[in-house]
Structure 1
Amino acid sequence: MQVLFKVDRQSQNAPAWVQTYTLDVDPGMTILDCLNRIKWEQDGSLAFRKNCRNTICGSCSMRINGRSALACKENVGHELARLQQIASTAALNSQPAESLPEITIAPMGNMPVVKDLVVDMQSFWSNLKAVDPYVSTAARQVPEREFLQTPAERSRLNQTGNCILCGACYSECNARTVNPDFVGPHALAKAYRTLADSRDVKTAERLEQYNQGTEGVWGCTRCFFCNSVCPMDVAPMDQIGNIKREILANPSVEDSRPIRHRRTLVDLVKQGGWVDERQFGLRVVTNSFRDLRGLVTMGKLGLRMVQRGKFPFTFHASAGAPQVRSLIESVQNLAVESKQVNSQP
């Protein structure tokens, strides 16, 4: 069958434009197979990265029909079926019967374009290096000693160890788009892999580092895009959540506004079934009157709210507060039990 491939073309620091190629393909051909044929048979100037062609190296990551994926993993038949499903779900008019099916291909996001589908991944690698994703242990000082682990300890590393650093999650990360200081889901997934490693001895230092402002885990917007595009099921957003739980459970980690936000939210909902906005602002922003800068901020906001009649002077607990409290405590107890089981040799 014939398919139209609409490929974003661009040179560095120049406007992008779209070039269309028509290709006779089989449904089982991968997108990378199609790009190779375009380059070999129609346009040798088309630039894209590739290497293993077997979903191992992560080199051929690009945006295919609007979402980041590996060109060597996705095939034509799957992509056309996915587009048809999206069109039918959204009740959109599909393409006219006489028109050729289309597949759009563009470079990854959150990274500057070098040429066509090739992007500059310097920020991607720099942010990975910033989290220091390597096991650091005193045992390295004794070369004769082996790094022994039980099967259970090793199994905790399997999911995050599957990351091939393709950049798909980084490309789709909304937090990275709006906050250039955020290190990205790929880096934090690797960070949790180190935290989960029984051979590492720098847990407290790492948690302090990942707890810093919006550069670390608290910069995640939980949009779920990183999980949805990861070709290896690493689930970066889940690993970020695991780091957050480690931070909240570790009393040695320095108190911060994100930590107070999380703990206060849970405490207030446990008490009243929903959030008491008066206490929430005071406990989170002003740190219970200990943060002078936050107190000034809240003072100005509070005055404006009083003037406009939007300050709640009373709080009425939810009728279902006891049930909510019971549910939260059950989840907390399960989390503690799960951690105890995982920590057993």
Structure 2
Amino acid sequence: MTIQLRIRRQGPDKNAYWQTFELEIDPSLTILDALIQIKESQDGSLSCRKNCRNTICGSCAMTINGRSALACQQSILAELANSPVPNQIAIAPLGNLPVLKDLVVDMSDFWQKLSAVNPYVSTAARQVPEREFLQSPSDRAKLNASGNCILCGACYGACNAVEVNPAFVGPHALAKAARLVADTRDSDTDQRLDQYNTATSGVWGCTRCFNCNTVCPVGVQPLDRISEIKQAILARSGEATHNQDRPLRHRQVLLELVKEGGWVDERQFGLRVVGNGFRDVGGVMSLVPLGWRLLRRGKFPLRFEKSAGQAQIKAVVTALQQKQPYSKIEAKKKGMKC
């Protein structure tokens, strides 16, 4: 079968350009097979990373038809079916990382952010160094998903949060962080949760775009792992809302207001989250210009009316907080739609 590979090429300190290669190849082979054929028979200067060719090492991560993927995992036939251009496959380097040459990117930032979460089990609290620290099968099972990560960079290349906020540590690092939070052998859980509980670089910087889950080639589901860290932060937080960091206060105040009124009272929301209930003078002052503009234009709500279904919404939220099932039958009895 004759196909076309349209490859985005770029040399050091040079502008990127697209080059189209035409080749005769078995469509049951992989994208990596096609790249190797081009390199061996058409252009030996084409650069890409490869190693195991079996979805183990993660070296061949790149952007294929607009999404992050492993070239050794994606078949030519499947990519032709997904391509917007008939009989052509577009291949580019991973996103969010500087290009060294063609499909090879500089992974330095990727590794530095992984290092920032301290991705190793702490042994500081161990008192019996001559013994192994064993885990039960159920404890070990909690580590399975994040332990499958091969650090290919697919999630990082597809991450919208990294694209708009370079300080965000990335889904790969937080997936590894979730493993350590769940690991019963680790002695630094509280310190880790403090570190990950930051507004922009930690878990709260995630935009929940779901891209990382979609592109992960080995089913780690980084967004789910980030959510697990958030739940650990929330579960640990026993102090009053006003003593919490703003990201955590944002989430809890939102839930409280929905529970109280059925929807969000915007007046209270700003004051309780940004102004911390008048405890943060700077935060309160930052709201004044916005409040004044809304008031001048007649858009500032002077009253707040609870929603008609506030009682049912409160019941649902309360049931979820208590981890009690709120069945469709119960909802139907109260006139709610599920």
RMSD: 1.6
- Kindly indicate whether the alpha-carbon contact (under 8 Å) linking 1:139 and 1:145 is maintained by their aligned counterparts in 2: no
Cα distance per residue 1:90-111 (max 9 Å; x no partner): xxxx74xxxxx00011000100
TM-score, with structure 2 as normaliser: 0.92
Q: CA deviation at 1:259?
A: 0.7
Equivalences, count: 322
Counterpart of 2:334? none
SS of the residue 1:334 aligns to = coil
Select the residue among 314, 317, 321 that pairs with 2:303.
314
Select the residue among 118, 121, 128 that pairs with 2:107.
121
- Kindly indicate whether the alpha-carbon contact (under 8 Å) linking 2:60 and 2:70 is maintained by their aligned counterparts in 1: yes
Q: How does 1:277-292 map onto structure 2 within 5 Å? A: 277-292=266-281
CA distance in 2, matches of 1:134, 1:244: 20
Counterpart of 1:339? none
CA distance in 2, matches of 1:293, 1:171: 37
Q: How does 1:164-183 map onto structure 2 within 5 Å? A: 164-183=150-169
CA distance in 1, matches of 2:100, 2:311: 58
CA distance in 1, matches of 2:319, 2:188: 31
Counterpart of 1:45? 45
Counterpart of 1:271? 260
CA distance in 2, matches of 1:145, 1:124: 35
Counterpart of 2:25? 25
The residue type paired with residue 308 of structure 2 is A
CA distance in 2, matches of 1:9, 1:335: 55
Q: How does 1:1-345 map onto structure 2 within 5 Å? A: 1-83=1-83, 95=86, 101-138=87-124, 140=126, 142-251=128-237, 255-334=244-323
Cα distance per residue 1:42-92 (max 9 Å; x no partner): 110000000000100000000001101000000111111223xxx6xxxxx
- Kindly indicate whether the alpha-carbon contact (under 8 Å) linking 1:33 and 1:72 is maintained by their aligned counterparts in 2: yes
Identity across the alignment (%): 59
- Kindly indicate whether the alpha-carbon contact (under 8 Å) linking 1:204 and 1:252 is maintained by their aligned counterparts in 2: no
Q: CA deviation at 1:331?
A: 2.1
- CA 1:157–1:204 in 2, change beyond 3 Å: closer, same or farther? same
SS of the residue 2:115 aligns to = helix
Q: CA deviation at 1:141?
A: 5.2
The answer to which of 292-301 and 325-334 deviates more is 325-334
CA distance in 1, matches of 2:324, 2:51: 42
Higher relative contact order (CA 8 A, sep 6+): 1
Q: CA deviation at 1:137?
A: 2.8
Q: CA deviation at 1:171?
A: 0.3
Structure 1, gaps ≥5 residues long: 88-93, 96-100, 337-345
Q: Which 4+ residue blocks in structure 1 deviate beyond 4 angstroms?
A: none
CA distance in 1, matches of 2:165, 2:35: 33
TM-score, with structure 1 as normaliser: 0.90
Structure 2, gaps ≥5 residues long: 326-338
- Kindly indicate whether the alpha-carbon contact (under 8 Å) linking 2:125 and 2:187 is maintained by their aligned counterparts in 1: no
Q: CA deviation at 1:335?
A: 8.3
- Kindly indicate whether the alpha-carbon contact (under 8 Å) linking 1:227 and 1:235 is maintained by their aligned counterparts in 2: yes
